Structure formats: C-alpha cells, structure tokens
Chains A and B, each alone.
Chain A
Amino acid sequence: MSILPEAQAKAILTKVLGYSKADECTAQLTGSTRGNIRFARNDVSTAGVTDDIQLQVQVAFGKRVGIATINQFDDAALERVVRRAEELARLAPENPEFMPAVPKQTYMKTDTFSASTAGITPAYRAKVASDSIAPCRAEKLVAAGYLEDQAGFVAFLNSKGNYGYQTGSSSDYTCTVRTQDGRGSGWVGHNVQDVAQFNAGEDIRVAMRKASASAGAQALEPGKYTVILEPAAAAGLVAFMMFFFDARSADEGRSFLSKKGGGNKLGEQVYGPQVSMFTDPAYPGAAVYPWDDDGLPRKKMPIIQNGKLMTMNYSRYWAQKEGKPEQAQFGNIIMEGGTKSTADLIRTTERGILVSRTWYIRMVDPQTVLLTGLTRDGTFYIENGQLKYPIKNFRFNESPVIMLNNVEEFGKPVRVKSDESDTVMVIPPMKLRDFTFTSLSDAV
C-alpha cells in the first residue's frame, strides 16, 4: 500500500527537515501503486503491480543546490539522504538563477482521487483484457491493448513552513484492433480519473467497428483537405504545441511566440477567434494537484481567449527577472468547444476526411511549430455528410498554429491523453479547413 496517511507522511517530512543543516531544505514524498495488464494477438502477454514511495530532498547553501532521493524510511536512511543532498550542494557551483524555496501558501482542494480506481484488482485488469479479447476472437479480429492504473499521493514540506498533502488516481486504457488479414485497423483510448466511468466491453466496439470499416482503403491524392480530427487525433498536435509556451524562450527570440524585433506575443491575436483554452486545477473529471513542481498554487487561468494569447508559462526566475507575478505552470489544458459530437460534425460536412488518430508527431521547424506525423487506425473520406469509404493513411506537415487559424467548428470536448504527453487534457473534435497532407502511407 503506497498511500501514506497524512499524519505519517507529515511526521517523516518533519523529521527530514530536522536533520538538515543547510540554509534551506524541501522534502517531498511521492508514492503510488501502479498496476498494468498488456495483451496482444488475443492473449495476455504481461501483467504486474509495482508499489513504491520516493523521498526527495533538495537543500541549498546560498545559491548551491543539491538533490538526493531514497526509498527507505528508517531514521538512518532519512539522515543519510539529507547528508547526500548536502554533499552534492557543496560540490555544485553557484547557480545565478537560483530561486529560494516558496514561502507558505494556501492551496485549494481538488478532486483528484477516486476510490474505485484505487481499488482496482488483478481480477479487474484480467476482466478488462478478456472483455477486449473475447469479442474480437468471436468476430475474427485481433486485439492488442494495455491498461495501466495508479493511485498515489504527494506530500511536501519546506523549511519556510510550506506544506501540502493530497491523494490522486488515474487509469488509461488503449486498444488496437486489427483484421486477421491485416487490411484494417481501429483504435480506442479512454483516460479517466474514476474508473467507474470506464467500460472496456463498450469501448472495444469502437475499435472493432473501425478495424472492419477501414479494410480495403482507397488512395486519395495528398494535398489540402477539410478534416475532422477526433479529440485523440487533435490532442497530439495541441499537446506538442503546449511544450513551447515558455515565456523565456519567446522573450529570447527562439519560439513561435517570439515577436519580430523582440519580446513575445502576449495579448496578441495568435489563433482564430473560435479558439479558447484555459487551465483549471479543479475542472470536473480532469482535476490535477493544486500546486506545481515548485509548490506554487495553481488556479483557473485563461491561456487563449477568442484566439488572443492570454498567458504563457513563466519560470520563477524569469518572472522575477521580467517583473511579472509568480504563477504556477499549467497543470491541465482545457479547450472550449461546442455541443456537437464527432458524428454531428460529419453530418454537416460536404467533403472532408475523418482522422481517428495521429501518430509519431515530431517537430520539423520550431520557428513555426511545423509538425509532421501520420494518420492511423481509421481514416475515412466524408461526402455529403456521410463516411463514404476508408482511405489510405496520410503523412501531414502542419503547424497547430495555422491549423487553429483554420477552424470551421469545434464539437464537444472530452478528456483525452496524447501518446507522448502526460498532461491531462480536455479537447473537442475539430473541423478544420486546408489541413496539409504531404504524402501517402501504405501502413495499416
């Protein structure tokens, strides 16, 4: 059991601070129980559970910082980890950008924990696998998937008296279903904080339908098309762009948010007027811890409002240097949208392409956030409001900034997780014009 009760966590943190002889000390406990089950070729391949608690100690002598961690909690181990951090701090040169530990803060409570997710058992994971595999076997399809769940806690205390404790949970399910002849492939993903909202038996039907429907794809010429990106497909591009919302890089002239001649684009119209995005640690169904890695309190903040850039991420050092107030780094990304489903967006589309999922997205040019990647697991041609036929996958070369200036309509946002970012995101299906596909892929 890797969730320490609050009193026990606080007692350990207090003891650790007592051992420190440094000018300042911050101790943080992070614990979790993580379970997983993996299956492929309609068989379970691996399953496991890992319990772990880590204690991280950061100390500073003047502007020299040392960090050490340990996962043992007897008194000798606690003192040893403090001494190790202190020794590293003495070896390190002074960091002119050193920022002292944050003073005492007040944090809101956010709803990050669900007992049902924390209560997941090996039998539950086995049932998720069998609920995914059995219908595929019955319809001569092949499932490969993965469920990972975790429940844990974070607690911290620094020598200025700043303290926090909270528990959290999450669960992430993905499954790829392929036809036996390899001509069709579909995918489904479901990322939730409360596993009570998840039903593998229902989700698997989405991947199965797409697998069957995507077989026998036809080739379309690469070029610019109106597209409907399902939320999971859009999330990959948006998540990538958010890595580059750092104010310092923009002020230094090396970001898509840099202004010609110097400075950044804060307050400018960077996106189309339909685009609004905010961060909110308490957002229902997508809540995150109410503090960032530095211990700054998170609060609801607009990031983009009607296309105008409202907020960028400032490190504590850069905020101080630029005379800006300190603010927590974004904890989650919530995009506003409408009420329509993906199916509704398809119904109002004369000609276009439905993209179920995007894949292997990489930066091509940071100057414009030009990204390349591919479609996969269900790409369809839309004509007169209907899916007409499956089409071969495309490679795209597109900037999310350009893409979000070409918005036709957003549908109803849902919680999603992109392949390569752990950020909790709520993203709508997007209907976009002039999305740039540059070549065809034979991959299924």
Chain B
Amino acid sequence: MGGLVLPAMFGKVIAAEELSSAIDVALKKSLADAAMNSAKSAGATYADVRVGRYLRQFVITRERNVENIVNTESTGVGIRVIANGAWGFAATNELTKDAVARAAAQAVAIAKANAPGQSAPVQLAPAKGAGEVSWRTPIVKNSMAVPIKDKVDLLMGVNAAALDAGASFIRSILFLVNEQKYFASTDGSYIDQDVHRIWAPMEVTAVDKASGKFRVREGLSSPMGLGFEYLDGAASGKTVLPNGVTVYGNSYDMKEDAIAAAKQAQAKIKATSVKPGKYDLVLDPSHTWLTIHESVGHPLELDRVLGYEANYAGTSFATMDKLQSHFQYGSDKVNIVADKTQPGSLGAVAYDDEGIKTKKWDLIRDGKLVGYQAIRDQAHIEGKTASDGCAYADSWSNVQFQRMANVSLEPGKQKMSVADMIANVEDGIYIIGDGSFSIDQQRYNAQFGGQLFYEIKKGKITQQIEDVAYQIRTPEFWNACAGVCDASDYRLGGSFFDGKGQPAQVSAVSHGSSTARFNGINVINTARSLG
C-alpha cells in the first residue's frame, strides 16, 4: 500500500560506532549448519536459515530543530522448514548453536502440527545450491559511516534554504538502511549479502493566513538502493523539464529541491482550480511509479491472484484465465518488466530470501499479460519450473513470502523527448510527483493525485493548476497509453514501506519509467468548502 512507518517499530537502538561492523561469516555459517542439522534430525525434508542484522538510522528535523536521531539494530535467526509436507517457522534472537537448534526443532514441530489440516503438500520448485557466495549493493559511500554531524548540517542547510525561500514550514528526514543478510539452505546455499538503501523525504508547507489556505509540496527525490553519494547533487542526476521544474535521477540535490518546493508551494495557493473533465495526461516518472506500483505491480502478484491476501491487501482482477488468454492489459506501447537486478533500485539483490538467483522477466509484453511474480512454492501453479526470485522478509523474525519485484514500464523504442510529447497534446494536464493514492481490493478502480500540475493547451504548457486527481479503471487506463518517451528520460521512483501480509511486513521497491501519455482520462476537482 505504501506509506510512512514510524521508526519505533524497528528494534533496539544502538550506538553510532557499531553501525559499520558485521557478524563474522564463519559464525553465521556455523549457526546455519547447527539449525539445518537440527531440523533434518527432527524430520525436516527442507530447511532454510536466515541470519539477519538489520541496521537503520533516522534523522528527523523540522524548521531549525532536530527532533530526533535514532539508531536501531535488530539481530537474530529465522528458520523455515518443510516437514510432513507443511511449512513451519520459528525465530530466535539468541546467536548460539543451542538456541538455533532449539528453534529449528520448534519449526519442525509447528510444521508437523499444521500438516494434518493441509489440503496438499507444499511443492517447492527445484533450486540448485549457490555454494558460498557474497554480494553487496554497489555503493560509493556507506551512509552508516557518514558522521551524524554531516547529516544534521545537511538537513539544517536544506531547511534554512526553504525557509529563506518563503516556506512557512519544512520537515526533512534521512532514512538510512543496511540489511546484513545471510541465507543458508539444505539445497547447498550459503549466501552473504550486504544491502544498502537511502531515502531523503521532505514536506514543505506554505500558509496564507489571510485566506486561510495552505499547500504542501513534497520533495521530488526517490528512495534508492544507493549509498550516501545519492545526496551529492551531481549535475548528471538532474533533468530540467520543459516547464523549468528540475527532477532527479540517480543523484539528488536536496537543497535545490527545497528552494523550488518553497516557491512552488506558494504558487500552488494561487494556482487556478482545475475544470473537471477528460484530459490527455502527461505523467512524469516521479509520478508514474506509484500508478505502476498500484495498478500493475500488486495485481500481478501470484499470491494475491490465488486469494492468499483476500482478507488484507485483497485479490486481483488479473486472474489466471487472463494470463492464459494473454489479456490485453494495455496498448501495444505498454511493456512492463519485473526486475530484481536493476542497479540503484530498492529491490536489487543477487539472491532473494529463498536463495534464488535474481533475474529480469516480462509481465506485460506489447500490452498483453504474459507473467506474474511467483516464488518457489507457487511456481508450479503458474506452470513454471522455477521461482521468479522475489521472496522477501522484512526481518529475521518474520517468515519470507512473495513480495513485489521492481516493476517498471520500458521506455519507448522511438526517439521522443518530453517536449516532443507535450507538443502534440491539444488539451492535457502534465503531472509531476506522487500524491494521494487509493485503489480497490482487486486493483480495478484507482484515484491518484500529484505534487505539481500544469495545464497543456494546443501543445503548450500554459499555467500551473491545482485540485487535480484522476480516476482510472486499470485496463482502460493502460490501453489509453498513447506513447512513452525514450530511454534518455528514464528514471526510478519507489516506496520504502510497501505493506502486505498479516502480521504486516514492509518492503522497499522501485518502479522506473520515462514520461508517458494517457489519452482521455477522467479528472475530478478535489476542492471543497467547509463553510
């Protein structure tokens, strides 16, 4: 679903100097072996062990003040087994051979208890052991090693710049994540991975007390699978759009964006309210990622299609018969891929949390539905012989399950810039940044807002407008896709906290696209009066 989760949920708080250390690989292997041996002797036919150390740092500010600096660490071991054809799971925060062996035996006991009520035994798609391998997010600067003073100075500078540019209020935050994950399985895998992510959101508010109006412009950054170098503000990461708005790719200039946000928030207060009706929409990648996430990424998760999420996240309109008939999900301009390998993305890893080598695969090709996202115990249902490699658990203490890969719209094959695209629009709206979002439990009917809206008349951007939200029916929307700009405009957006499952787990996922055009979309006016 996507949304901010408070830092408090992420485990024990630790001192800064401990953030650059890691658990010795030999210790992790010995714990994993102890757990797998215990599981096998208790009767497991399969076992996997995840030894995890999850580090997070949060720096939270408003205006001239630092509200909070928090370092958290959560370390432990999660053991998943199959016994008598059923799954069992247990976890412990004790890093001793005895403790993990006990937890493994407990997991087997739970599996055996669950087995009698099971309609059919678990079928795991075959997987070859990876042997002893390691992987690290290719970062340049480890965020955890950057001094806290530098982070505070950065945010204080950003806030001062926004206030000086006329903002009434600003909240800026750094979220930094390092997942140190060791996976071992009875298939013969011992995989050590060091995963890094960064997010620098902000919220700039302009208030006009006389009229009683206020408007918020959120930052145009994206959470990324990068190190602290993302905040260098390199010129190579910037794109200036035809209306003069600067957007960001693999490098973010937070201070520059804060100044722009302050000015644009003030402009939003005075902007003309949109006239509702049908418009051709030109959607910037900073906006489109969320529409892809909700209307393509989620409905093509196989567990939703099958009904496992019926009581929480919901099911999917994209049922199995639609896969078999290659349902026309979108126009022939729409090619959508799932990819767990994309550099800089939030979901990039070498192996998923079931030890499967990650890959890129098609979900929609030439507008037709051709694939879902499936993990080992679902692959056979889709008629596949291998997992897609998209299992994930948000901590050592939660069981891994199917989570969304990076799901992205491929750029158009013909050369087309954003200016070229806008030049052909008669009556349209150009939307930048993600805003309000809501979609039904089968992913048919959705409504999206944005951060910045511009009217397009006869191929020209005429003025900034406000109070815009568009409503879609998913297949009609994607079939209205009339063009996608070329690869030179391709950028990633994403969510740090995509929620799913009961008990709820979060995952981080990116969605890339180039600017895309959708014809004849229903736009409503969201302004109301409280009298």
A→B interface (CB under 8 Å)? 36, 38, 40-48, 50, 54, 56, 66-71, 84-85, 87-88, 91-93, 95-97, 122, 130, 142, 144-146, 148, 174-176, 178, 182, 252-254, 256, 258-262, 359-368, 370, 372-374, 376, 393, 395, 397, 399, 401-402, 405, 438-444
Contact = CB atoms under 8 A, between A and B. Distances in A.
Contact of B15 (A87, A253, A376, A397): A87
A71 B528 contact: no
A70 B471 contact: no
A370 B307 contact: no
A295 to B, nearest CB: 16
Nearest to A145: B311
A88 B93 contact: no
B325 interface: no
Given A43-B118, A175-B311, A360-B440, A96 B524 contact: no
Interface residues of B, number: 80
A439 B440 contact: no
Contact of B71 (A44, A88, A178, A360): A88
B307 A365 contact: no
Nearest to B440: A443
Given A261-B212, A393-B440, 14 more contacts: A38-B311, A46-B399, A50-B397, A69-B11, A96-B64, A148-B502, A262-B209, A360-B438, A365-B528, A366-B216, A374-B440, A393-B445, A442-B445, A443-B444
Given A252-B169, A256-B530, A368-B530, A40 B307 contact: yes
A335 to B, nearest CB: 20
A376 B440 contact: yes
A145 B118 CA distance: 16
Contacts of B68: 67
B497 to A, nearest CB: 13
Interface of B: 1, 11-16, 64-72, 87, 89-90, 93, 110, 113-114, 117-119, 148-149, 152, 168-169, 205, 207-214, 216, 306-312, 314-315, 317, 319, 397, 399, 436-445, 447, 449, 467, 469, 471, 473, 502-503, 522, 524, 526-531
B503 A395 contact: no
B436 A362 contact: yes
B209 A261 contact: yes
A359 B440 contact: yes
Contacts of A71: 12, 93
A92 B93 contact: no
Given A45-B308, A93-B152, A176-B310, A441 B444 contact: yes
A359 B313 CA distance: 10
Contact of A146 (B71, B438, B471, B502): B502
Contacts of B522: 439
Nearest to A444: B442
Contact of A36 (B205, B309, B503, B528): B503
A365 B526 contact: yes
B528 A368 contact: yes
Contacts of A56: 13
The 9 closest A-B CB pairs, nearest first, are: A260-B212, A441-B445, A144-B310, A443-B442, A443-B440, A253-B207, A144-B311, A368-B528, A68-B13
B445 A395 contact: yes
